[in-house]
Structure formats: C-alpha cells, structure tokens
Amino acid sequence: MSLSIPDRDWYKAPVGAEKLWIGLALIWCLVMSVMMPYWHFRGKQNSRGEAYAVTPAAFYERAEQFVAANKVGERDGVPIVEPAPGGEAYLVARMWGWYPILKLRQGETYRVHVSSMDLNHGFSLQPLNMNFQVLPGYDHVLTLTPTSKGEFTIVCNEFCGIGHDRMIGKLLVE
C-alpha cells in the first residue's frame, strides 16, 4: 500500500509486463536521445547559439554602417537593405520595432546578426514559424538560408512592455 510501511522484502527486480514496459520506454528514450545529434549532423535546422558579447551602442553602430552601405530602398521610413549573398546582415530589435527591413535572395545563405537595444525580444518569423531569442548584450548570429520567396513578418514573441504586440518587422525574399 502506498500509504503504509512496505513489507521487509519490498526490494524486487521488475518482472513480466512491467519489465517489458521499462525496456520499451528506455529504448524510446534512447531513440529520442539519438535524434538530436543525428539532426545536428544530418539535419538543416540547428540552433547553435553562436553569439558574441556586444554593447547595444556598438551593435547599433555596426547596424548603421551596414544600412548605409547596402540600402536599396525605404518603406514607411524604414530602410530596406540588401546584404551581399553569403554575407553578413544586421537586425536591431528595440521597443517596439525591428530595424531595418532585410531583403534576401532565395537559396543564398546569410549570417544575420540580431541583438537588442533594451530588453529581451523574440524573433518569430511568420508565417514560417521560426523562433529565436534576442537578448541585449549578445550578438546572436543566425545563419539562415531562405528557401521560399515572399514577404515575411517578424513578430516579437517575448514580452517587452506595453507596445510588445505592435513590434512587427518585415523580411523580404526574392
């Protein structure tokens, strides 16, 4: 009984169906354990967490240089910036917006540096539904390869104050 003192000889190895279930459960857990390293080498979606320490001011300066050098247009006062294929891109998160609008090419790989000027933010690319955490003080490098064309929306999905739900950005892929 679970509420009373067990018999003196309560120590017994599992037998029968119980033993079978423990074995099956263990095998299943091992399968799940193996899936992650497997995907790390064979899969294409892996969050490596590559990041560098950076002050918000220094990050912003680099983002400004990047915008000045690669600006191709403007929408509602936000610059549209096209990085070189295979190159670096910068994305600034701050209350409550994303800066600038990135214009990428399908099939090319980019190193997108994301950092926050103030609080934690969430980089959530919709409607693809890819999500990453953005922190102040950390230059989080996302190595992305767009495989679909169109206009994508970056939604902030980490609470960052009253205007959080209006923190919307755009990402274009041609």
Partner 1 sequence: MTTLAAAVPTALDAPGARSRRCDTTGLSVCLTAQLFIKLAAVSAVVFLLLGGVAAILLALTRWQAVHLLRVDWFYRILTFHGLNMLIFWILFFEVAILYFACTVPLNSRLFSRKVAWVSFAMMLTGAVMVNVVVLAGKADVLMTSYLPLLAHPGFYLGIILVAVGTLVAVFNFFATLHIAKRDRAYEGTVPLVTFGALAAAIIAVVTLLHGAIVMIPTFTFSMGWTAEPDPMWYRMIWWGLGHQSQQVNVCAMVAVWYLVGQLATGAKPVNETVCRGAFLLYILFINLASAHHLLVDPAVGATWKIWNTSYAMYLAVLASMIHGFTVPASVEMAMRDKGYVKGLFGWVTALPWRNPAFSAVVLSILIFGFIGGITGVTLGTQQINIIAHNTLRITGHFHATVVGGTTLAFMGLAYYVIPLIFRRDFVWRTAARVQPWLFGGGILMVSLGMSFAGSLGVPRRSYDIEPAGVFGPAAHLFLGVMGLGALVAVAALLLFCILCVGTLLFGRPNSGRAMADWGVAQRVPGVKAGLFEHDHWAMKGTIALTAVFLACFAVYYFANWKALADVWPAQ
**C-alpha to C-alpha distance for 93 and 143, rounded to whole angstroms:** 17
121 binds, options partner 1, Cu ion, none, Cβ within 5 to 8 A by partner type: Cu ion
Contact set for partner 1, span 139-158 (CB under 8 A): 139-140, 142-148, 153, 155-158
Contact set for Cu ion, span 98-137 (CB under 5 A): 121
CB 89 within 8 A of CB 102: yes
**C-alpha to C-alpha distance for 5 and 19, rounded to whole angstroms:** 24
Token readout for 44 is: 């294409």
Does 128 contact partner 1 by CB under 8 A? yes
Q: Which is nearer to partner 1, 80 or 135 (CB)?
A: 135
Contact set for partner 1, span 28-57 (CB under 8 A): 28-30, 32-33, 35-37, 39-40, 43-51
Q: Which is nearer to partner 1, 68 or 109 (CB)?
A: 109
Does 24 contact partner 1 by CB under 8 A? yes
Torsion sign, CA atoms 96, 100, 104, 109: negative
Token readout for 57 is: 């001011």
Q: Which is nearer to partner 1, 78 or 126 (CB)?
A: 126
**C-alpha to C-alpha distance for 51 and 97, rounded to whole angstroms:** 21
Total site size for partner 1, rule CB under 8 A:
82
Residues 2, 57, 76, 77: which binds partner 1 (CB under 8 A)?
A: 2
Torsion sign, CA atoms 145, 151, 157, 158: positive
